[in-house]
Every structure is written in structure tokens, then in C-alpha cells.
Chains A and B, each alone.
Chain A
Amino acid sequence: MLMNTFQELTDAVEKGNRKEAARLTQVLLDAGTAPLEIVESALVPAMSNVGEKFKNNQVFVPEMLIAARAMKEAMAIIQPLLTAAGIVPKYTAVIGTVQGDLHDIGKNLVAMMLKGANFNVIDVGINVPPEKFIAAARENNAQLVGLSALLTTTMPAMKTIVDAMRAAGLNNVKIMIGGAPITQQFANEIGADGYSPDAASAVDLAHKLVAA
């Protein structure tokens, strides 16, 4: 019976049905399901499925956002319970759009997908200078920093941030980059640890980098 509810919750999130997602989350909690189990057995798989479909061009950015909205609705119920139980995500990622660049769709999508993969995500926003990335990484003991840039004119800011982070001694923090003009070659050139061509692939890359 409960297995069906888990699947229904996964389906509701995938379809972006936030009211149903909230209702089914409450049903599972009322049945005594551990909050973390709901996250790991229903919500994370839902966002993972959405990510796979996105990579395969079966769904697009709007569907991803709608799914994330439904997951957020479920997490609004679950998060206080996780916090009260002292359960925190294993990994923390700081993410932002580099200085001079005001675009945030790509950054928001990656943040959303990382949250969906149960990362603790610190979104430092847009037009972010190096010192803000460094401070956020330190304050939150982040394992990962994600840099986004849409414009060719702001790509050089990525190198500035990578250099600044290394100069600040954050050598254990993995840096991944992405954005329309970015390539693996550019990532190699500036010393970033990884490049992801899309938000769904960013989750795979993030897992790979933090496990390394």
C-alpha cells in the first residue's frame, strides 16, 4: 500500500502536481514513514527521472521547474522534521552567477537539480564577486562551488574566481562551471574541476566530484 504511495508521490512531483505532492507527503508521514525515507525513496528519484528525461529531450526547462516546485511543496513539510531530527544533507554546494553576469536561469536550474539530489545548496545569486564565493564556501564548509556564466564577456570572471579560491587555500573545494558559452576545454584552461553542459548532467558531475 505504502509502496504505491511512494510511487504516486514520485509521479506527482514528476508531473509538477504540487497539491498532490503535499498531500501524499502528509499521507506517508501520517503512516509513520521517516522523513528521510520520503526524500530518498520518492522525491530524489522523481527529480532524477525528470533530469534523465531532460537529457533525452523528453521534457524541457518549464517541466523541470514545475517538478521542482512540487518537490519544494513536499520539502516544506519534510524539512522542519529533518532539521528537528538533526538530519542534514551530506554535501553542501555554493552556487552563483559570476561577477558581471546577471543571468540566472541556468544557475537556478542547477541549484534546483542539486537540491533534488539532496545537496544542501547555498545560492549566492547573480553578479557575484570572488570574495563572496570564498566566504560562502568557508562559512558553509562547502565541498563544491558551481559557477555560471551566460555571456562570453563574463567568462573571464570564472578564471578570476578559480584563481582566487585556490589562492585563498580552498584547494579541497571542487569547482564546476557551466553556461551557454562554456566548454570542457575552457574548464581545463582555467583550472576548474569540471564542466557540465546542462543542469541534469550537473548532478552527475557533482556526485563524481565530491566522491573523488
Chain B
Amino acid sequence: MNRSYYLDLAASGLRMPIGTHLVLHEHADHEAIMLDGLRLGTVVEEAARRFRSPMAIPVMDLKLEKESLLLSHGVAAEQIDSFHFTEAPAKDWAVDSTPRMAATCEAIRQVARNGEFVPVGMGIGPFSLMTKLVSDPITPVFLAGTGANGDEEPEVKLVERALELAMNAILPYLQAQITAGAKAIILCEPAANKVYFSPNQLSESYEIFERYVMEPNRRIKALLEAGGVDLIFHDCGELEDEMVRRFATLDPAMMSLGSSRLLWEDAALMPKTTVLYGNLPTKKFYSDALVSVADVKRLADALNQKMCATGHPFILGSECDVLSVPGSEETIKAKVEAFLA
């Protein structure tokens, strides 16, 4: 889409959460809905309507790509969540779409067909998926940052192979969502953060961050560009300024960051053609003691004022997918409504 679409939304003072999970979990059979594209599409539209968002945003389900990769590799469904590669698989394999992926694509098709909202897709970033494929991704990333290669350290070889496998799962799923009609993709790379990359090491060189995070994401950006689809980059992890600066080189239409970031300072790290999105502390919304409705209103006003002062295009929103916490659903919804008001 034309970049002015997002800039106009920001200029209009739009406020919106990433909140489909909240609406989905109002349905007792939410697991069944996740497998039924038409019903899922209806829920995604319902969430957009409820939260007055012009964009229909899927559930931030970042387990789909791992599931497709491993099911296609013959890993039993019940083993998927806890499965980690212990040695680097020598050969690639065809990664098949899963029923949940098919339902998500069908939901996007429905949103596109109905035309009331802009259909948005969702996917995990390659680095973040890699971290789910090995038991300890942090040590080898650090070792690679010291200059160790896969021949010297098998763990490094495993991580680099896992990154390749991650791309084999991610690219076809993104393409499927693009084919289904997604006009923008929210690419979630929450593991590209200070837990996985030592700031001490990065202060000497960003080479490993470039190689493991930025280069794969540039390939994804190229895929999106080829399909005329916009990138919405999301990372709610704790970040160094330089990480944000490098994410901005992907030229996302929107950048969604976690509540640990001061967005009014981040505005200086990216071009004014990238709308900043976020970053109210929605992960704390479950507790009135941590953040009350009055706090939410105060934080929203303060953030809006500070962002207004920067002159940077901004959409007030959540720091991540607003999850429905059992027993706290109404508390959370009240706070979402509070910042939308």
C-alpha cells in the first residue's frame, strides 16, 4: 500500500491494540475457531470492529512455523512444543502448511473479500524461530560473536542450520498469507534482544547481529516488497538503541516496540516514513495493582503528548498482543477501552 496510508492513520490520532486474542478467547471453542478459517476471519473482523481498528490483525500465534517445520520433518505433534534439534540436519525438506496456517490464510481471504478492513498477516521472525529450535541458542550466538565458526563449535553450526530451516518454514507461510490477500505483515522478532545478544559483545561489533538477525530479515523484506506488501516490524524485547536503528533500515511501514522503550527517544532512530506503534504496558494489564485504569489513561496521555512533541508519526497501542489472562479478562478489556477512549 502507499506509505501515506499509515502516515494518515497516525495523523488521524488512531489508537488501536493488537487485541484479537482477547476477542477470540471470549469464545469457549476458541481452539476450534483457530482451525476454522471462516469463523476465525469473523473473529478477526470482530476484534477490529470492537477496537475501532482499520486493520484486521490475526492472533499473534508464533508457534505455527515451528509446528509446520517439525510436523513436515516427522516429529510427533505432541513433541512439537518441547522438541529441539540436537544436531544439524544435513538435508532440507519440504515444509507443508498446517491446518492452523490454512485457517489463518482463509481468514485473511475472508477479510480481503469483505473489504471492511485492511487484511494483515502475521509471522515469526527467523532469529526468533531459530531460538525455538535449539535448546540453548544463547551460548552459540555468543560464541559466534567471538568469531567461533561451525567447524570449531558444533553448537554454532546447529544454530546456523536452524536459521536456514527457520527461513524454509517462514518464507512459504508469508507467501501464502500474501497470496491470500494480506496487505501488510506483522513480523515478530522478539528474541532479537539483549538476552540473546550481549550488549558487551555488541559494543565491539554488530557483525553477529547483522548476520543472524538483519540479513534473514532483509530477505523477508525483499519477499514482501516483491508482493507489494508492507512490513510491520514488531519486537517487544529489551533492546539497545543500535538494534532499533538497524531494524529501521528494513524501512518498515510501522515499528512496534515493547514498553521498555521510550518511543519519544526512539523517534530519532528512524525515518519519519516509519510510524511508531505502541507501547503501553499491556502485559501488566491483568493486575490493577500493577497498572490501574487511571494509570492507563495517564500513561496514554503522557505518551501521546511526548510523541506529539517529537513530530514523529505515531499510533498509540499495545506493547504486544494483548493476551486474555484467565480470570482477568474484564480487567484487561477495561484498560484497553481506557486507552482507546
Contacts and interface: CB of A to CB of B under 8 A. Distances in A.
A197 interface: no
Interface stretch (B38-46, B134-142, B225-233): B134-142
Interface in A59-118: 59-63, 65-66, 69, 102, 105, 108
Interface stretch (B6-14, B99-107, B170-178, B322-330): B322-330
A67 to B, nearest CB: 10
Given A102-B81, A181-B283, A186-B287, A152 B325 contact: yes
Contact of B198 (A62, A102, A105): A62
A108 B136 contact: yes
B195 interface: yes
B323 A152 contact: yes
B325 A153 contact: yes
A49 interface: no
A112 to B, nearest CB: 10
Given A65-B138, A66-B142, A151 B323 contact: yes
A107 to B, nearest CB: 12
Interface secondary structure of A, over-half rule: helix
Given A105-B195, A181-B283, A62 B82 contact: no
Interface in A174-210: 180-181, 183, 185-186
A127 interface: yes
What's the interface size class on A, roughly?
Answer: 20 to 34
A108 B286 CA distance: 26
Contacts of A63: 142, 198, 200
B321 to A, nearest CB: 10
A65 B200 contact: no
A125 interface: yes
A147 interface: no
B20 to A, nearest CB: 14
A156 B195 contact: no
Contacts of B324: 153
A181 B284 contact: yes
B153 to A, nearest CB: 11
Interface secondary structure of B, over-half rule: loop
A156 B200 contact: no
A74 B37 CA distance: 54
A61 B196 CA distance: 7
Interface in A133-185: 151-153, 155-156, 180-181, 183, 185
A126 interface: yes
A185 B136 CA distance: 31
A62 B141 contact: yes
A66 B328 CA distance: 39
Contacts of B196: 61-62
Interface in B185-209: 194-201
A60 B82 contact: no
A189 to B, nearest CB: 9
A62 B325 contact: no
B90 interface: no
B290 interface: yes
Nearest to A64: B138
B81 A127 contact: yes
Nearest to B142: A62
Contact of A62 (B139, B290, B323, B328): B139
A13 B194 CA distance: 22
A34 B197 CA distance: 37
Contacts of A66: 139, 142-143
Contacts of A151: 323
A125 B82 contact: yes
A156 B283 contact: no
B28 interface: no
Contacts of B200: 59-60, 63
Nearest to B193: A61
A142 B130 CA distance: 34
A65 B325 contact: no
B94 interface: no
Given A60-B199, A65-B142, 6 more contacts: A62-B142, A62-B145, A62-B197, A63-B142, A66-B139, A156-B325
29 contacts: A60-B198, A60-B199, A61-B138, A61-B196, A61-B198, A62-B138, A62-B141, A62-B145, A62-B196, A62-B198, A63-B142, A63-B198, A65-B139, A66-B139, A102-B81, A108-B136, A125-B82, A126-B81, A126-B82, A127-B81, A152-B283, A152-B286, A152-B328, A153-B323, A153-B325, A155-B286, A156-B325, A183-B289, A186-B287
